[in-house]
Structure 1
Amino acid sequence: MAYELSQTTDLLLQVEVADVADQRVLTSEIDFSHISHMSRVPAEDGLGERIWIRADGEFRCAYSARIHVDRPALDLTALSSAMPRLLPWHTVRYLMPSRYCQSDQFSSFAEDEFGHLEGGAKIDAMRAWIHSTFKYVPGSSNAQTTALDTFVQRQGICRDFAHVLITLARASGIPARFVSVYAPGVTPQDFHAVAEIYLDGTWHLVDATGMAPADTIARIGVGSDAADVAFLGVFGQAKFVEQSVVVTKS
Protein backbone atom coordinates (compact mmCIF):
# COMPACT_ATOMS: atom_id res chain seq x y z
CA MET A 1 0.00 0.00 0.00
CA ALA A 2 1.11 3.59 -0.63
CA TYR A 3 -0.25 6.91 0.64
CA GLU A 4 0.98 10.49 0.31
CA LEU A 5 1.12 12.43 3.59
CA SER A 6 1.03 16.23 3.49
CA GLN A 7 2.89 16.51 6.83
CA THR A 8 4.35 14.36 9.58
CA THR A 9 1.47 12.11 10.61
CA ASP A 10 0.69 9.33 13.08
CA LEU A 11 -0.69 6.16 11.48
CA LEU A 12 -2.24 3.10 13.12
CA LEU A 13 -1.75 0.01 10.97
CA GLN A 14 -3.43 -3.40 11.31
CA VAL A 15 -2.59 -5.66 8.36
CA GLU A 16 -0.70 -8.59 9.92
CA VAL A 17 -2.37 -11.95 10.46
CA ALA A 18 -2.91 -12.79 14.14
CA ASP A 19 -0.77 -15.71 15.33
CA VAL A 20 -3.22 -17.82 17.34
CA ALA A 21 -4.04 -21.50 17.87
CA ASP A 22 -6.19 -22.05 14.77
CA GLN A 23 -3.94 -20.08 12.40
CA ARG A 24 -0.19 -20.24 12.82
CA VAL A 25 2.10 -17.71 11.16
CA LEU A 26 4.89 -19.71 9.51
CA THR A 27 6.80 -16.78 8.01
CA SER A 28 6.12 -13.06 8.06
CA GLU A 29 7.82 -9.93 6.77
CA ILE A 30 6.74 -6.30 6.87
CA ASP A 31 8.69 -3.40 5.37
CA PHE A 32 8.12 0.34 5.40
CA SER A 33 9.42 3.37 3.58
CA HIS A 34 11.30 5.87 5.75
CA ILE A 35 9.53 6.27 9.11
CA SER A 36 10.53 8.09 12.29
CA HIS A 37 8.68 5.87 14.78
CA MET A 38 7.32 2.33 15.04
CA SER A 39 5.79 0.57 18.05
CA ARG A 40 3.44 -2.38 18.52
CA VAL A 41 0.33 -2.47 20.71
CA PRO A 42 -2.26 -5.23 21.32
CA ALA A 43 -5.35 -5.09 19.11
CA GLU A 44 -9.00 -5.48 20.16
CA ASP A 45 -9.68 -8.50 22.42
CA GLY A 46 -5.95 -9.29 22.28
CA LEU A 47 -6.32 -10.82 18.80
CA GLY A 48 -3.29 -9.68 16.81
CA GLU A 49 -1.40 -6.41 17.05
CA ARG A 50 -1.57 -2.89 15.73
CA ILE A 51 1.48 -0.88 14.71
CA TRP A 52 1.92 2.82 15.45
CA ILE A 53 3.85 4.56 12.69
CA ARG A 54 5.02 8.15 12.36
CA ALA A 55 5.84 9.13 8.81
CA ASP A 56 6.03 12.02 6.34
CA GLY A 57 5.85 12.29 2.56
CA GLU A 58 5.12 9.04 0.75
CA PHE A 59 4.33 6.19 3.12
CA ARG A 60 4.71 2.68 1.73
CA CYS A 61 4.10 -0.66 3.41
CA ALA A 62 4.72 -4.16 2.02
CA TYR A 63 3.56 -7.18 4.02
CA SER A 64 3.88 -10.86 3.16
CA ALA A 65 3.23 -14.01 5.18
CA ARG A 66 2.67 -17.75 4.99
CA ILE A 67 -0.11 -19.04 7.24
CA HIS A 68 -1.19 -22.54 8.27
CA VAL A 69 -4.93 -22.52 8.99
CA ASP A 70 -6.07 -25.39 11.23
CA ARG A 71 -9.80 -24.80 11.58
CA PRO A 72 -12.63 -27.16 10.60
CA ALA A 73 -15.58 -26.01 8.51
CA LEU A 74 -18.42 -26.81 10.91
CA ASP A 75 -22.13 -27.31 10.34
CA LEU A 76 -23.59 -24.19 11.94
CA THR A 77 -27.01 -25.75 12.33
CA ALA A 78 -25.67 -28.20 14.94
CA LEU A 79 -24.41 -25.43 17.25
CA SER A 80 -26.36 -23.99 20.18
CA SER A 81 -26.53 -20.50 21.67
CA ALA A 82 -26.76 -19.47 25.31
CA MET A 83 -29.34 -17.22 26.92
CA PRO A 84 -27.90 -13.69 27.29
CA ARG A 85 -27.80 -13.92 31.10
CA LEU A 86 -25.56 -17.02 30.85
CA LEU A 87 -22.99 -15.57 28.45
CA PRO A 88 -19.34 -15.00 29.49
CA TRP A 89 -18.62 -11.40 30.42
CA HIS A 90 -16.27 -10.80 27.49
CA THR A 91 -19.03 -11.49 24.95
CA VAL A 92 -21.62 -9.10 26.37
CA ARG A 93 -20.27 -6.03 24.52
CA TYR A 94 -21.02 -7.85 21.27
CA LEU A 95 -24.73 -7.92 22.08
CA MET A 96 -24.89 -4.13 21.99
CA PRO A 97 -25.65 -1.77 19.10
CA SER A 98 -22.60 -0.07 17.60
CA ARG A 99 -21.81 2.65 15.08
CA TYR A 100 -22.50 0.54 11.98
CA CYS A 101 -24.71 -2.15 13.52
CA GLN A 102 -27.96 -0.66 14.86
CA SER A 103 -29.26 -3.94 16.25
CA ASP A 104 -31.80 -2.19 18.50
CA GLN A 105 -33.73 -1.23 15.32
CA PHE A 106 -33.93 -4.81 14.00
CA SER A 107 -35.52 -6.73 16.89
CA SER A 108 -38.98 -6.98 15.32
CA PHE A 109 -37.67 -8.01 11.91
CA ALA A 110 -35.33 -10.63 13.39
CA GLU A 111 -38.15 -12.12 15.45
CA ASP A 112 -40.64 -12.15 12.56
CA GLU A 113 -38.18 -13.63 10.05
CA PHE A 114 -36.04 -15.96 12.19
CA GLY A 115 -37.79 -16.28 15.55
CA HIS A 116 -38.87 -19.88 14.89
CA LEU A 117 -35.21 -21.00 14.84
CA GLU A 118 -32.55 -21.36 17.52
CA GLY A 119 -28.76 -21.07 17.79
CA GLY A 120 -26.68 -21.96 14.79
CA ALA A 121 -29.73 -22.82 12.70
CA LYS A 122 -30.90 -19.23 13.15
CA ILE A 123 -27.50 -17.83 12.14
CA ASP A 124 -27.35 -20.12 9.11
CA ALA A 125 -30.80 -18.92 8.03
CA MET A 126 -29.71 -15.30 8.42
CA ARG A 127 -26.61 -15.97 6.34
CA ALA A 128 -28.66 -17.66 3.63
CA TRP A 129 -31.22 -14.83 3.62
CA ILE A 130 -28.53 -12.16 3.20
CA HIS A 131 -26.78 -14.15 0.48
CA SER A 132 -29.99 -14.59 -1.51
CA THR A 133 -31.46 -11.13 -0.90
CA PHE A 134 -28.49 -8.79 -1.27
CA LYS A 135 -26.36 -8.08 -4.35
CA TYR A 136 -22.57 -7.83 -4.05
CA VAL A 137 -21.84 -4.54 -5.85
CA PRO A 138 -18.34 -2.99 -5.50
CA GLY A 139 -18.55 0.77 -5.10
CA SER A 140 -22.16 0.71 -3.89
CA SER A 141 -21.28 1.76 -0.33
CA ASN A 142 -18.80 3.97 1.48
CA ALA A 143 -17.21 4.48 4.90
CA GLN A 144 -20.47 5.92 6.28
CA THR A 145 -22.76 3.08 5.15
CA THR A 146 -24.45 1.31 8.08
CA ALA A 147 -26.30 -1.99 8.35
CA LEU A 148 -29.58 -0.07 8.16
CA ASP A 149 -28.49 1.62 4.92
CA THR A 150 -27.51 -1.74 3.43
CA PHE A 151 -30.77 -3.34 4.57
CA VAL A 152 -32.70 -0.67 2.68
CA GLN A 153 -30.51 -0.66 -0.43
CA ARG A 154 -30.20 -4.48 -0.64
CA GLN A 155 -26.65 -4.23 -1.96
CA GLY A 156 -23.12 -3.66 -0.70
CA ILE A 157 -19.68 -5.22 -0.30
CA CYS A 158 -18.23 -7.64 2.23
CA ARG A 159 -18.17 -5.17 5.14
CA ASP A 160 -21.84 -4.37 4.54
CA PHE A 161 -22.86 -8.04 4.39
CA ALA A 162 -20.94 -8.65 7.62
CA HIS A 163 -22.57 -5.66 9.33
CA VAL A 164 -26.07 -6.91 8.47
CA LEU A 165 -25.38 -10.44 9.75
CA ILE A 166 -23.84 -9.06 12.96
CA THR A 167 -26.83 -6.75 13.44
CA LEU A 168 -29.40 -9.52 12.99
CA ALA A 169 -27.50 -11.85 15.36
CA ARG A 170 -27.29 -9.20 18.09
CA ALA A 171 -30.97 -8.35 17.58
CA SER A 172 -31.65 -12.02 18.37
CA GLY A 173 -29.55 -12.05 21.56
CA ILE A 174 -26.53 -13.81 20.03
CA PRO A 175 -23.09 -12.13 20.37
CA ALA A 176 -21.51 -11.21 17.03
CA ARG A 177 -18.39 -9.28 16.09
CA PHE A 178 -16.72 -7.93 12.96
CA VAL A 179 -13.58 -9.63 11.62
CA SER A 180 -11.08 -8.31 9.08
CA VAL A 181 -9.43 -11.20 7.24
CA TYR A 182 -7.45 -12.45 4.29
CA ALA A 183 -9.15 -15.15 2.23
CA PRO A 184 -8.42 -16.84 -1.10
CA GLY A 185 -11.25 -16.92 -3.61
CA VAL A 186 -12.44 -13.39 -2.83
CA THR A 187 -13.36 -11.47 -5.98
CA PRO A 188 -12.13 -8.81 -6.41
CA GLN A 189 -9.06 -9.54 -4.27
CA ASP A 190 -8.78 -7.16 -1.33
CA PHE A 191 -8.99 -7.11 2.43
CA HIS A 192 -12.11 -9.12 3.30
CA ALA A 193 -14.66 -8.83 6.11
CA VAL A 194 -16.77 -11.53 7.77
CA ALA A 195 -18.72 -12.02 10.98
CA GLU A 196 -17.78 -14.08 14.00
CA ILE A 197 -20.68 -15.51 16.00
CA TYR A 198 -20.53 -16.85 19.57
CA LEU A 199 -22.06 -20.34 19.56
CA ASP A 200 -21.42 -23.45 21.67
CA GLY A 201 -19.00 -21.58 23.92
CA THR A 202 -16.64 -20.18 21.27
CA TRP A 203 -16.43 -17.90 18.22
CA HIS A 204 -17.26 -19.18 14.72
CA LEU A 205 -16.45 -17.43 11.42
CA VAL A 206 -19.37 -16.86 9.04
CA ASP A 207 -19.05 -15.17 5.64
CA ALA A 208 -22.41 -13.81 4.47
CA THR A 209 -21.02 -13.25 0.95
CA GLY A 210 -20.38 -16.99 0.58
CA MET A 211 -16.92 -16.38 -0.88
CA ALA A 212 -14.75 -17.56 2.02
CA PRO A 213 -15.27 -20.89 3.84
CA ALA A 214 -14.24 -20.73 7.51
CA ASP A 215 -11.37 -23.20 7.02
CA THR A 216 -9.64 -20.90 4.48
CA ILE A 217 -9.81 -17.61 6.41
CA ALA A 218 -6.86 -15.93 8.16
CA ARG A 219 -8.02 -13.42 10.78
CA ILE A 220 -6.32 -10.03 11.07
CA GLY A 221 -8.40 -8.47 13.84
CA VAL A 222 -11.83 -8.21 15.46
CA GLY A 223 -14.09 -5.50 16.84
CA SER A 224 -17.67 -4.34 17.27
CA ASP A 225 -17.80 -3.23 13.64
CA ALA A 226 -15.55 -1.87 10.88
CA ALA A 227 -14.68 1.23 12.94
CA ASP A 228 -12.65 -0.97 15.32
CA VAL A 229 -10.66 -2.86 12.67
CA ALA A 230 -9.47 -0.40 10.05
CA PHE A 231 -6.35 -1.65 8.24
CA LEU A 232 -5.02 1.92 8.32
CA GLY A 233 -6.03 4.71 10.68
CA VAL A 234 -4.70 8.15 9.69
CA PHE A 235 -4.50 10.87 12.34
CA GLY A 236 -4.17 13.66 9.82
CA GLN A 237 -4.52 13.91 6.04
CA ALA A 238 -3.47 11.22 3.54
CA LYS A 239 -3.92 10.84 -0.21
CA PHE A 240 -4.39 7.34 -1.60
CA VAL A 241 -1.71 6.33 -4.13
CA GLU A 242 -2.07 2.57 -4.63
CA GLN A 243 -2.88 -0.68 -2.89
CA SER A 244 -3.03 -4.35 -3.81
CA VAL A 245 -3.88 -7.54 -1.91
CA VAL A 246 -3.05 -11.04 -3.18
CA VAL A 247 -4.12 -14.17 -1.27
CA THR A 248 -3.41 -17.69 -2.55
CA LYS A 249 -4.07 -21.17 -1.16
CA SER A 250 -1.53 -23.99 -1.44
Structure 2
Amino acid sequence: MYRSVTAEIDLDLAASVDLVFQVATARDVPLAAEQLSFLQGDRPYRPEELVDQSGNRLHRFRGEPGPLTVRYTAKVSGQAPPPSATELETIAYLRPSRYCQSDELFAQARRRFRGLSGRELLAAVTSFVSSSVTYSPGLSLGTDSAVTTLQTGQGVCRDYAHAVIALLRAMDVPARYAACYAPGLLPMDFHAVAEAYLDGRWYVLDATGLSHPTSLVRIATGRDAADCAFLSYHGGNVLLERMRVDAWTPAADAPQDGPSTVVSDALVQLR
Protein backbone atom coordinates (compact mmCIF):
# COMPACT_ATOMS: atom_id res chain seq x y z
CA MET A 1 0.00 0.00 0.00
CA TYR A 2 1.43 3.37 -1.09
CA ARG A 3 0.78 6.39 1.14
CA SER A 4 1.93 10.01 1.04
CA VAL A 5 2.31 12.18 4.13
CA THR A 6 3.15 15.83 4.71
CA ALA A 7 3.60 18.16 7.67
CA GLU A 8 4.05 21.93 7.57
CA ILE A 9 4.86 23.73 10.82
CA ASP A 10 5.59 27.46 11.19
CA LEU A 11 7.12 28.59 14.46
CA ASP A 12 8.33 31.85 15.97
CA LEU A 13 11.32 31.43 18.29
CA ALA A 14 11.61 34.14 20.93
CA ALA A 15 15.15 33.18 21.92
CA SER A 16 17.83 30.62 21.24
CA VAL A 17 16.16 27.30 22.06
CA ASP A 18 16.87 23.56 21.98
CA LEU A 19 14.32 21.95 19.61
CA VAL A 20 13.42 18.27 19.26
CA PHE A 21 11.01 17.21 16.51
CA GLN A 22 9.20 13.91 15.94
CA VAL A 23 7.48 14.35 12.59
CA ALA A 24 9.43 11.86 10.45
CA THR A 25 8.08 8.34 10.08
CA ALA A 26 9.48 5.65 12.37
CA ARG A 27 12.70 3.84 11.46
CA ASP A 28 11.08 0.66 10.10
CA VAL A 29 8.59 2.39 7.78
CA PRO A 30 9.63 1.63 4.16
CA LEU A 31 10.09 4.86 2.20
CA ALA A 32 10.37 5.52 -1.51
CA ALA A 33 11.20 9.20 -0.92
CA GLU A 34 11.56 11.58 1.99
CA GLN A 35 12.40 15.27 2.54
CA LEU A 36 12.75 17.12 5.83
CA SER A 37 13.79 20.76 6.05
CA PHE A 38 14.19 23.37 8.78
CA LEU A 39 14.58 26.89 7.38
CA GLN A 40 15.00 30.32 8.93
CA GLY A 41 14.83 32.63 5.95
CA ASP A 42 17.61 31.37 3.67
CA ARG A 43 19.39 29.61 6.50
CA PRO A 44 18.94 25.82 6.66
CA TYR A 45 19.46 23.92 9.88
CA ARG A 46 21.10 20.48 9.80
CA PRO A 47 19.62 18.56 12.73
CA GLU A 48 21.12 15.57 14.44
CA GLU A 49 18.97 12.47 13.93
CA LEU A 50 18.59 10.30 17.02
CA VAL A 51 16.83 6.93 17.01
CA ASP A 52 15.54 5.62 20.33
CA GLN A 53 14.87 2.07 21.50
CA SER A 54 11.35 2.15 20.03
CA GLY A 55 12.57 3.14 16.56
CA ASN A 56 11.36 6.74 16.92
CA ARG A 57 13.41 9.21 14.86
CA LEU A 58 14.06 12.47 16.67
CA HIS A 59 15.61 15.51 14.97
CA ARG A 60 17.38 17.93 17.29
CA PHE A 61 19.11 21.29 16.87
CA ARG A 62 19.40 24.70 18.51
CA GLY A 63 17.26 27.30 16.80
CA GLU A 64 17.98 31.02 16.92
CA PRO A 65 15.40 33.80 17.45
CA GLY A 66 13.00 34.42 14.58
CA PRO A 67 10.54 32.58 12.30
CA LEU A 68 11.26 28.91 11.57
CA THR A 69 9.56 26.80 8.90
CA VAL A 70 9.47 23.01 9.11
CA ARG A 71 8.52 20.96 6.05
CA TYR A 72 8.27 17.18 5.86
CA THR A 73 7.12 14.98 2.97
CA ALA A 74 7.41 11.23 2.53
CA LYS A 75 6.15 8.53 0.21
CA VAL A 76 5.60 5.23 1.99
CA SER A 77 6.32 2.37 -0.38
CA GLY A 78 4.74 -0.51 1.49
CA GLN A 79 4.00 -1.90 4.92
CA ALA A 80 6.45 -2.01 7.81
CA PRO A 81 7.23 -5.38 9.40
CA PRO A 82 4.85 -6.35 12.21
CA PRO A 83 5.82 -4.51 15.41
CA SER A 84 7.78 -6.73 17.77
CA ALA A 85 8.03 -6.65 21.54
CA THR A 86 10.62 -7.61 24.11
CA GLU A 87 9.86 -8.83 27.60
CA LEU A 88 11.23 -5.58 29.02
CA GLU A 89 8.89 -3.55 26.80
CA THR A 90 5.82 -5.46 27.85
CA ILE A 91 6.74 -4.88 31.50
CA ALA A 92 7.22 -1.14 30.88
CA TYR A 93 3.86 -0.89 29.12
CA LEU A 94 2.07 -2.43 32.12
CA ARG A 95 3.19 0.38 34.43
CA PRO A 96 1.32 3.63 35.12
CA SER A 97 2.69 6.64 33.25
CA ARG A 98 2.28 10.42 33.22
CA TYR A 99 -0.99 10.50 31.25
CA CYS A 100 -2.13 6.89 31.75
CA GLN A 101 -2.63 6.43 35.50
CA SER A 102 -3.69 2.81 35.49
CA ASP A 103 -3.20 2.64 39.26
CA GLU A 104 -5.85 5.34 39.78
CA LEU A 105 -8.27 3.56 37.45
CA PHE A 106 -7.59 0.07 38.83
CA ALA A 107 -10.79 -0.29 40.86
CA GLN A 108 -13.00 1.17 38.12
CA ALA A 109 -11.52 -1.11 35.47
CA ARG A 110 -11.80 -4.22 37.65
CA ARG A 111 -15.46 -3.54 38.40
CA ARG A 112 -16.47 -2.76 34.84
CA PHE A 113 -14.47 -5.40 32.96
CA ARG A 114 -14.45 -8.23 35.50
CA GLY A 115 -14.28 -11.65 33.87
CA LEU A 116 -13.23 -10.39 30.43
CA SER A 117 -9.96 -11.26 28.71
CA GLY A 118 -8.35 -11.44 25.27
CA ARG A 119 -10.20 -9.95 22.31
CA GLU A 120 -13.38 -9.58 24.30
CA LEU A 121 -11.61 -7.35 26.81
CA LEU A 122 -9.96 -5.22 24.10
CA ALA A 123 -13.32 -4.72 22.41
CA ALA A 124 -15.10 -3.90 25.67
CA VAL A 125 -12.53 -1.29 26.75
CA THR A 126 -12.48 0.37 23.33
CA SER A 127 -16.27 0.46 23.13
CA PHE A 128 -16.56 1.86 26.67
CA VAL A 129 -14.15 4.73 25.95
CA SER A 130 -15.84 5.45 22.63
CA SER A 131 -19.26 5.74 24.26
CA SER A 132 -18.02 7.63 27.33
CA VAL A 133 -16.01 10.38 25.58
CA THR A 134 -17.22 12.98 23.07
CA TYR A 135 -14.72 14.09 20.42
CA SER A 136 -14.29 17.77 21.32
CA PRO A 137 -11.49 19.67 19.51
CA GLY A 138 -10.31 22.66 21.50
CA LEU A 139 -11.93 21.67 24.79
CA SER A 140 -9.22 19.44 26.25
CA LEU A 141 -5.79 20.57 27.42
CA GLY A 142 -2.38 19.16 26.62
CA THR A 143 -2.02 18.31 30.30
CA ASP A 144 -5.24 16.24 30.46
CA SER A 145 -4.78 12.61 31.49
CA ALA A 146 -6.84 9.45 31.19
CA VAL A 147 -8.42 10.22 34.57
CA THR A 148 -9.36 13.75 33.45
CA THR A 149 -10.78 12.48 30.16
CA LEU A 150 -13.03 9.90 31.80
CA GLN A 151 -14.19 12.48 34.37
CA THR A 152 -15.01 15.21 31.84
CA GLY A 153 -16.19 12.94 29.01
CA GLN A 154 -14.48 15.03 26.34
CA GLY A 155 -11.22 14.99 24.42
CA VAL A 156 -9.39 14.41 21.17
CA CYS A 157 -7.52 11.40 19.82
CA ARG A 158 -4.68 11.56 22.37
CA ASP A 159 -7.23 11.55 25.19
CA TYR A 160 -9.12 8.55 23.80
CA ALA A 161 -5.83 6.68 23.43
CA HIS A 162 -4.76 7.51 26.99
CA ALA A 163 -8.05 6.27 28.43
CA VAL A 164 -7.88 2.97 26.52
CA ILE A 165 -4.24 2.43 27.52
CA ALA A 166 -4.81 3.16 31.21
CA LEU A 167 -7.84 0.86 31.47
CA LEU A 168 -6.05 -1.98 29.68
CA ARG A 169 -2.98 -1.67 31.90
CA ALA A 170 -5.28 -1.76 34.91
CA MET A 171 -6.50 -5.12 33.56
CA ASP A 172 -2.91 -6.42 33.21
CA VAL A 173 -2.75 -5.98 29.42
CA PRO A 174 0.41 -4.22 28.09
CA ALA A 175 -0.70 -1.14 26.18
CA ARG A 176 1.14 1.73 24.53
CA TYR A 177 0.63 4.97 22.61
CA ALA A 178 1.31 5.45 18.89
CA ALA A 179 1.45 8.77 17.02
CA CYS A 180 0.56 8.36 13.34
CA TYR A 181 -0.19 9.88 10.01
CA ALA A 182 -3.74 8.78 9.16
CA PRO A 183 -4.89 8.90 5.52
CA GLY A 184 -8.58 9.74 5.31
CA LEU A 185 -8.74 11.20 8.82
CA LEU A 186 -11.34 13.93 9.36
CA PRO A 187 -10.49 16.42 10.72
CA MET A 188 -6.94 15.90 9.42
CA ASP A 189 -4.14 16.23 11.97
CA PHE A 190 -1.46 14.15 13.60
CA HIS A 191 -3.39 11.17 14.96
CA ALA A 192 -2.98 9.00 18.07
CA VAL A 193 -4.14 5.46 18.75
CA ALA A 194 -3.61 2.84 21.42
CA GLU A 195 -1.86 -0.47 20.82
CA ALA A 196 -2.57 -3.55 22.95
CA TYR A 197 -0.36 -6.61 23.32
CA LEU A 198 -2.18 -9.90 22.86
CA ASP A 199 -0.85 -13.37 22.00
CA GLY A 200 2.60 -12.01 21.10
CA ARG A 201 1.40 -9.20 18.82
CA TRP A 202 0.56 -5.50 19.04
CA TYR A 203 -2.90 -4.51 17.79
CA VAL A 204 -4.33 -1.06 16.99
CA LEU A 205 -7.29 0.22 18.99
CA ASP A 206 -8.82 3.54 17.89
CA ALA A 207 -11.72 4.47 20.14
CA THR A 208 -12.39 7.64 18.10
CA GLY A 209 -13.51 5.53 15.14
CA LEU A 210 -12.06 8.19 12.83
CA SER A 211 -9.15 6.40 11.17
CA HIS A 212 -8.62 3.59 8.66
CA PRO A 213 -6.50 1.22 10.78
CA THR A 214 -4.92 -0.52 7.78
CA SER A 215 -3.56 2.74 6.34
CA LEU A 216 -1.95 4.28 9.45
CA VAL A 217 1.72 5.29 9.20
CA ARG A 218 3.69 5.18 12.45
CA ILE A 219 5.60 8.26 13.59
CA ALA A 220 6.41 7.42 17.20
CA THR A 221 5.67 4.90 19.93
CA GLY A 222 5.79 5.36 23.69
CA ARG A 223 4.19 5.11 27.09
CA ASP A 224 1.90 8.06 26.35
CA ALA A 225 1.87 11.41 24.54
CA ALA A 226 4.86 12.64 26.56
CA ASP A 227 7.08 10.22 24.61
CA CYS A 228 5.58 11.07 21.20
CA ALA A 229 5.19 14.86 21.02
CA PHE A 230 5.80 16.28 17.54
CA LEU A 231 7.79 19.10 19.18
CA SER A 232 9.65 19.41 22.47
CA TYR A 233 11.71 22.48 23.35
CA HIS A 234 13.92 23.59 26.21
CA GLY A 235 15.54 26.85 27.24
CA GLY A 236 13.33 29.35 25.41
CA ASN A 237 9.85 30.31 24.24
CA VAL A 238 8.28 28.93 21.05
CA LEU A 239 5.04 30.11 19.43
CA LEU A 240 3.18 27.83 17.02
CA GLU A 241 2.01 30.13 14.21
CA ARG A 242 0.61 27.54 11.79
CA MET A 243 0.43 23.78 11.32
CA ARG A 244 -0.93 21.70 8.47
CA VAL A 245 -0.84 17.90 8.30
CA ASP A 246 -2.03 15.72 5.43
CA ALA A 247 -1.95 12.04 4.49
CA TRP A 248 -3.50 10.21 1.58
CA THR A 249 -3.39 7.07 -0.52
CA PRO A 250 -3.73 6.68 -4.30
CA ALA A 251 -7.22 5.59 -5.31
CA ALA A 252 -5.97 2.11 -6.26
CA ASP A 253 -4.49 1.64 -2.78
CA ALA A 254 -7.27 3.26 -0.76
CA PRO A 255 -8.38 1.05 2.16
CA GLN A 256 -11.67 -0.74 1.79
CA ASP A 257 -12.37 -1.01 5.51
CA GLY A 258 -13.66 2.54 5.98
CA PRO A 259 -12.98 4.40 9.20
CA SER A 260 -12.45 2.00 12.07
CA THR A 261 -15.41 0.35 13.67
CA VAL A 262 -14.87 0.68 17.38
CA VAL A 263 -15.40 -3.01 18.01
CA SER A 264 -13.77 -4.93 15.18
CA ASP A 265 -13.94 -8.66 14.55
CA ALA A 266 -10.49 -8.53 12.92
CA LEU A 267 -7.68 -7.01 14.95
CA VAL A 268 -5.21 -4.95 12.89
CA GLN A 269 -1.51 -4.32 13.41
CA LEU A 270 -0.06 -0.86 12.76
CA ARG A 271 2.25 -1.29 9.76
**Partner of 1:48 in structure 2?**
56
Report the Cα distance in structure 2 between the residues aligned to 1:159 and 1:243, rounded to whole angstroms. Answer: 17
Of residues 156-165 and 110-119 in structure 1, the stretch that sits farther from structure 2 once superposed is: 110-119
Q: Which amino acid aligns with 1:116?
A: G
Q: CA RMSD in A?
A: 1.7
Structure 1 residue 237 and structure 2 residue 237: aligned? yes
Report the Cα distance in structure 2 between the residues aligned to 1:35 and 1:100, rounded to whole angstroms. Answer: 35
**Partner of 1:16 in structure 2?**
24
Report the Cα distance in structure 1 between the residues aligned to 2:133 and 2:183, rounded to whole angstroms. Answer: 22
Structure 1 residue 60 and structure 2 residue 59: aligned? no
**Partner of 1:82 in structure 2?**
none
- Could you report, residue by residue, the CA deviation over 1:84-126 in whole angstroms, capped at 9, with x for unpaired residues? xxx8222101111111111001112111111221112201111
The 4+ residue runs of structure 1 with deviation greater than 4 A are: none
Counterpart of 2:34 (choices 21, 28, 38) is 28
**Partner of 2:267 in structure 1?**
none
> Structure 1 vs Structure 2: percent identity of aligned residues?
35
Q: How does 1:167-246 map to 2 (within 5 A)?
A: 167-235=166-234, 236-246=236-246
Deviation at 1:213, TM superposition (A): 3.1
Gaps (5+ residues) in structure 1? 73-86
Q: How does 1:38-117 map to 2 (within 5 A)?
A: 38-43=47-52, 45-56=53-64, 57-70=66-79, 88-117=87-116
Report the Cα distance in structure 2 between the residues aligned to 1:181 and 1:142, rounded to whole angstroms. Answer: 20
- Could you report, residue by residue, the CA deviation over 1:121-172 in whole angstroms, capped at 9, with x for unpaired residues? 2011111111122110101111111111100011100000000000001000
Please state which structure has a larger fraction of its residues in helix. 1
- Could you report, residue by residue, the CA deviation over 1:223-245 in whole angstroms, capped at 9, with x for unpaired residues? 11111111011112111111100
* TM-score, normalising length: structure 1: 0.88
* TM-score, normalising length: structure 2: 0.82
Q: Which amino acid aligns with 1:186?
A: L
Contact 2:54 2:221 in 1 (8 A): no
Gaps (5+ residues) in structure 2? 1-8, 251-271
Aligned residues: 233
Report the Cα distance in structure 2 between the residues aligned to 1:107 and 1:46, rounded to whole angstroms. Answer: 27
1:208 counterpart SS class: coil
**Partner of 2:5 in structure 1?**
none
- Could you report, residue by residue, the CA deviation over 1:55-93 in whole angstroms, capped at 9, with x for unpaired residues? 121111100111145379xxxxxxxxxxxxxx8222101
Deviation at 1:13, TM superposition (A): 0.5
Q: Which amino acid aligns with 1:58?
A: P
Deviation at 1:19, TM superposition (A): 3.8
Of residues 179-188 and 168-177 in structure 1, the stretch that sits farther from structure 2 once superposed is: 179-188
Q: Which amino acid aligns with 1:122?
A: L
Contact 1:35 1:54 in 2 (8 A): no
